[in-house]
Amino acid sequence: MVATPYLDDNPCRPRHFKPPPCVAIISEGPAMQALEACRSRLLITAVLFALVFVVVGLRVAEIALFEGGAAQSQIGRFRAVRAPAPSHADIVDRNVLATTLDSPSLYAVPKQILDPTDATSKIVRVFPKLSSADVHTKLTSGKSFVWIKRHLTPREQYDINQLGIPGLEFEHEERRIYPGGSLTSHVVGYAGIDNAGFAGVERALDDVLKERREPLPLSLDLRLQYILREELQRVIDDFTAKGGAGLIMDVNTGEILAMASLPDFDPNRPATPDPNHPGVSLVDRMFNRNTLGVYELGSIFKIFTVAMALDAGTSTLTSTYDASHPIAIGRFTISDYHGKHRVLNVPEILMYSSNIGAARMAIAAGAQKQREFLARLGLLRKPKIEISEVGAPHYPAKWREVNVMTIAFGHGISVTPLSFATAAAALVNGGVLRQATLVKLPPGHAPQGQQVISAKTSDQMRRLMRLVVERGTGTMAAAPGYLVGGKTGTADKVSGRHYADRKLLSSFVGFFPINAPKYLVLAMVDEPHPNKQSHGYATAGWTVAPATSRIVQRIAPVLGVQPVDEASPEVQRALLVESLQGKRLEAY
Sheet hosting strand 216-217, strand order edge to edge: 174-177, 96-102, 91-92, 216-217
DSSP states of 10-55: -TTS-----PPPSSPPPPSSHHHHHHHHHHHHHHHHHHHHHHHHHH
In angstroms, the CA 461 to CA 424 distance is 10
Q: Is the dihedral of CA 200, 202, 208, 212 positive or negative?
A: positive
What domains are defined for the chain? 86-105+150-217 (3.90.1310.10), 225-297+362-580 (3.40.710.10)
Residue 25's pLDDT band, with cuts at 50, 70 and 90, is low
DSSP 274: P
- 3-state DSSP of 223-277: HHHHHHHHHHHHHHHHCCCCEEEEEEEECCCCEEEEEEEECCCCCCCCCCCCCCC
Residue 1 pLDDT greater than 70, yes or no = no
Q: What's residue 279's pLDDT?
A: 84
Pick the closest to residue 249 from 438, 521, 52, 46 (CA basis): 521
Residue 18 pLDDT greater than 70, yes or no = no
Residue 81's pLDDT band, with cuts at 50, 70 and 90, is very low
Q: What's residue 55's pLDDT?
A: 78
Residue 77 pLDDT greater than 70, yes or no = no
In angstroms, the CA 72 to CA 273 distance is 60
DSSP states of 448-510: --EE-S-HHHHHHHHHHHHHHHHHSTTGGG--TTS--EEEEEEEEEEETTEEEEEEEEEEEEE
Q: What value does the mean pLDDT take over residues 10-36?
A: 58
Chain centroid to CA 163? 40
In angstroms, the CA 561 to CA 248 distance is 14
DSSP 87: S
Q: What value does the mean pLDDT take over residues 230-254?
A: 97
Residue 278's pLDDT band, with cuts at 50, 70 and 90, is confident
In angstroms, the CA 477 to CA 470 distance is 9
In angstroms, the CA 229 to CA 28 distance is 104
User: Amino acid identity, residue 149?
Assistant: K
In angstroms, the CA 322 to CA 289 distance is 37
CB of 268 within 8 A of CB of 178? Answer: yes
Name the residue with higher pLDDT: 570 or 9: 570
Residue 222's pLDDT band, with cuts at 50, 70 and 90, is very high
Pick the closest to residue 95 from 208, 189, 199, 220 (CA basis): 220
Residue 379's pLDDT band, with cuts at 50, 70 and 90, is very high
DSSP SS3 for 558: helix
With a pLDDT cut of 70, the percent of the chain lying above it is: 91
523 burial level (CB within 10 Å; 0-12, 13-18, 19+): buried
Q: What's residue 13's pLDDT?
A: 55
Residue 586 pLDDT greater than 90, yes or no = no
In angstroms, the CA 437 to CA 257 distance is 9
Residue 247 pLDDT greater than 90, yes or no = yes
Residue 84 pLDDT greater than 70, yes or no = no
pLDDT tens for residues 305-351?
999 999 999 999 999 999 999 999 888 899 998 889 999 999 999 99
Question: What is Dmax (Cα atoms) for the chain?
Answer: 187
Q: What's residue 15's pLDDT?
A: 52
In angstroms, the CA 243 to CA 285 distance is 10
Rg of the chain over Cα atoms, rounded to whole angstroms, equals 42
What phi and psi, each to the nearest 5 degrees, are found at residue 205? -115, 30
In angstroms, the CA 28 to CA 458 distance is 118
Q: Kindly list the distances between the CA atom of residue 188 and the CA atoms of 91, 291, 436, 514, in Å, as whole numbers in the listed order.
A: 8, 13, 16, 31
With a pLDDT cut of 90, the percent of the chain lying above it is: 70
Alpha helices in 172-221 (DSSP H): 185-188, 200-204, 206-211
In angstroms, the CA 394 to CA 392 distance is 7
For 299, residues 6+ apart whose C-beta sits below 8 A from its C-beta are 353, 355, 409, 410, 473, 487, 488, 489, 490, 491, 540
DSSP SS3 for 175: strand
Residue 423 pLDDT greater than 70, yes or no = yes
Task: Tell me the whole-structure pTM to 2 decimals.
Answer: 0.80
Residue 273 pLDDT greater than 50, yes or no = yes
Q: What's residue 76's pLDDT?
A: 44
Pick the closest to residue 304 from 420, 152, 402, 389 (CA basis): 420
DSSP SS3 for 223: helix
Q: What's residue 521's pLDDT?
A: 98
Chain centroid to CA 242? 23
Q: What is the residue-averaged pLDDT of the chain?
A: 89
Pick the closest to residue 181 from 86, 260, 87, 247 (CA basis): 260
In angstroms, the CA 230 to CA 249 distance is 17
In angstroms, the CA 279 to CA 226 distance is 24
In angstroms, the CA 532 to CA 588 distance is 21
Name the residue with higher pLDDT: 512 or 29: 512
Question: Which positions are catalytic?
Answer: 299
Q: What's residue 6's pLDDT?
A: 45
Cross-strand partners of 300: none
pLDDT tens for residues 484-527?
999 999 999 987 778 887 899 999 999 999 999 999 999 999 99
Pick the closest to residue 267 from 170, 140, 179 (CA basis): 179
Q: What's residue 545's pLDDT?
A: 97
For 426, residues 6+ apart whose C-beta sits below 8 A from its C-beta are 377, 432, 433, 434, 449, 452, 453, 458
Q: What's residue 7's pLDDT?
A: 47
pLDDT tens for residues 441-482?
999 888 999 999 999 999 999 999 999 999 999 999 999 999
